[in-house]
């Protein structure tokens, strides 16, 4: 772990909230197993600590994107069942076997390499199969289902699970959801008796028709919004506070930041924060003369970003705090927390909460709260 002075941003990850979110989703998915997606460093929260907390909460099935992520989960949670979403990397079968990682196989080339390893060792190493029902990302084509079935039947092999992925589950009424559900059902007729998985966070919340035997929540675990147009029921997991470095007065007509993109319409009081795009605060959160910037919270009040976000600094208009409520250098500004949610910041930057969370790689001190151990319930 890199040494820090503790003077920069303070990133706090509430492992108790993470555990409560998993428990809440597990109740919604009653009748299906509830996995935990921990890819992208557990959505920026830290894959080691997050995996331990999720395991303490009850999760036993983990989904990582890459073998390296899978190895990190294995080190953190030795008894975990770990699926690798990106599948079998060419030539890496021995690594998967050594680490007891299950590739989610999505092509005939992957399948043949994995079956060859099984034959070589005379061992039916576990895997899952992914069928593409409409995203055109990873996955067997639907017309390959019979070929896949015939190939594995000839060897007496069976996958642990067959899965697909929803493209539009964040919009529950989107016709694509029902189309994919029907196509996935047609695939499963080729694999009777094999557990199935279709639902991500949004799919889990869309309805039990999508649950099958395993659900795979990701963003909802970490407090992000999974379904558009609905109140987010999940507890926030991440808070981020950064220090104010300077407070200064500026005059009407003066410009702020690179490119003189925003000029002040009044005499203003500005706070300069030690935070910037190098810390995951995107330039799309900038303010200009034609669009407002994102908002951060200082002393409990929302204050707008003024001018372009720099690599290391953000300027915020704190005029509305009033002359008797001026913060001092060293005080914290809330970037994420009780007032500014992950999706509030994402909406302001024209992106999604996933991108905000997975960009939390900045110059912060990380602080973990709790450990995921909760009373039974």
Active site residues: 39, 258
Tokens of 121: 């060792």
Tokens of 352: 């999604």
The Cα–Cα gap between 130 and 104 comes to 6
- CA dist 158 and 148 (Å) reads 10
The whole-angstrom separation of Cα 172 and Cα 326 is 45
Computed on alpha carbons and rounded to an integer, the radius of gyration of the chain in Å comes to: 24
DSSP per-residue codes, 86-142: T---TT-HHHHHHHTEEEEE-SHHHHHHHHHHHHHHT-----EEEB-SSS-SSSB-G
Helix (H) / strand (E) containing 18: helix 15-28
Distance of alpha carbon 43 from alpha carbon 225, whole angstroms: 13
What's the rounded Cα separation, in Å, for the pair 214 and 35? Answer: 7
Listed in sequence order, the residues at least 6 apart from 234 whose beta carbon sits closer than 8 Å to its beta carbon are: 21, 24, 220, 221, 223, 224, 225, 226
- What gap in Å lies between CA 275 and CA 359, rounded to an integer? 13
Inter-residue contact 184 to 162 (CB < 8 Å) = no
CA dist list (Å): 210 to 41, 181, 213, 328: 27, 7, 9, 52
């Amino acid at each position: 772990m890199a040494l820090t002075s503790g003077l920069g941003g303070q990133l706090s990850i509430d492992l108790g909230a993470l555990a409560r979110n998993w428990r809440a989703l597990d109740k919604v998915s009653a009748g299906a197993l509830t996995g935990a997606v921990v890819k992208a460093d557990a959505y920026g929260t830290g894959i080691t600590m997050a995996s331990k907390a999720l395991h303490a909460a009850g999760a036993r099935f983990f989904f990582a994107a890459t073998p390296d992520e899978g190895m990190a989960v294995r080190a953190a949670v030795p008894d975990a069942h770990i699926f690798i979403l990106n599948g079998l990397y060419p030539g890496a079968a021995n690594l998967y076997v050594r680490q007891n990682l299950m590739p989610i196989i999505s092509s005939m080339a992957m399948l043949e390499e994995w079956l060859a390893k099984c034959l070589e060792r005379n061992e039916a190493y576990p895997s899952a199969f992914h069928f593409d029902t409409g995203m055109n990302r990873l996955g067997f084509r639907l017309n390959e289902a019979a070929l896949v079935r015939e190939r594995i039947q000839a060897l007496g092999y069976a996958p642990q699970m067959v899965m697909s992925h929803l493209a539009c589950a964040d919009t529950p009424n989107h016709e694509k959801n029902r189309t994919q559900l029907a196509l996935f059902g047609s695939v499963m007729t080729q694999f009777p008796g094999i557990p199935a998985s279709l639902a991500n966070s949004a799919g889990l919340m869309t309805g039990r028709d999508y649950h099958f035997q395993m659900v795979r929540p990701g963003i909802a675990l970490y407090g992000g919004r999974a379904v558009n147009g609905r109140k987010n029921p999940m507890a926030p997991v991440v808070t981020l506070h950064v220090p104010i470095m300077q407070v200064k007065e500026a005059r009407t007509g003066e410009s702020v930041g690179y490119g003189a993109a925003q000029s002040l319409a009044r005499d203003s009081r500005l706070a300069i924060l030690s935070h910037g795009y190098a810390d995951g605060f995107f330039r799309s959160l900038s303010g200009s003369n034609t669009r407002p910037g994102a908002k951060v919270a200082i002393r409990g009040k929302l204050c707008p970003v003024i001018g372009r976000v720099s690599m290391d600094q953000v300027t915020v208009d704190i005029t509305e705090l009033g002359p008797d409520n001026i913060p001092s250098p060293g005080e914290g500004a809330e970037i994420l927390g009780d007032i500014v949610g992950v999706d509030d910041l994402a909406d302001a930057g024209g992106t999604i909460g996933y991108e905000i969370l997975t960009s939390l790689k900045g110059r912060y001190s990380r602080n973990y709260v709790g450990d995921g151990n909760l009373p039974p319930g």
